Amino acid sequence: MLVDMGYPAHNLAPGEAVVLHRHPHWKLLVGPFVIFAIVTLLAGVLAGIISGSSLHGGGRTAAFTAVGVFWGLALVWGVLRPLFSWATTHFVVTDRRVIYRNGILTRAGIDIPISRINTVEFRHGLMDRMLRTGTLVIESASDEPLTFHNIPDVERVHAMLYEEVLTDHADEQH
């Protein structure tokens, strides 16, 4: 189980406070783990077939090695890569901006100042509602709307972000 250690403070401006920090919804990890379970089952069956076969010596070693490599690739590409991608994707709301960062080796990100946000929307279908996740759409002053998929507890995030926008706009008027 991964523990969310929070968003790194060195990525924040002096005096900036994190209001909300989320990784994508855990549903993104279900598929990779199911596929890995199937690949592990298949590798076990193949290993059993190899053990009961008439292969001996180098042929048997090569067959076991091929199954092991296949299983190892499935572990790295099918489980560890999506898990690291999930863990390195951050949706953060601070008292000053919305921050989105993602990527393992190549990082990408966007910052949206709270003061530039005009509209905050959310969408989710039946399955997303059952899993308490959805899509958040943020429209800023001059840019095309930005869409963030698989935000956990999207309705609460929407309400919290909207509150931050209202507070910021009220502060600007005073």
Query: How high is the pLDDT of residue 168?
Result: 73
Looking at the structure, give the CATH architecture of the domain made up of residues 90-173: Roll (2.30)
95 CB-near residues (< 8 Å, 6+ apart): 16, 17, 19, 114, 164
Record the tokens describing residue 156, joined without a space: 């609460």
110 CB-near residues (< 8 Å, 6+ apart): 99, 100, 146
Q: What value, to the nearest 5°, has the Cα angle with vertex 63 and ends 78 and 57?
A: 150
129 CB-near residues (< 8 Å, 6+ apart): none
Residue-wise pLDDT tens digits, 56-90: 889 999 999 999 999 999 999 999 999 999 999 99
Query: How high is the pLDDT of residue 174?
Result: 62
Where do we find the tokens 């929307």? 121
Residue-wise pLDDT tens digits, 121-149: 999 999 999 999 999 999 987 778 999 99
List the chain domain ranges: 29-84, 90-173
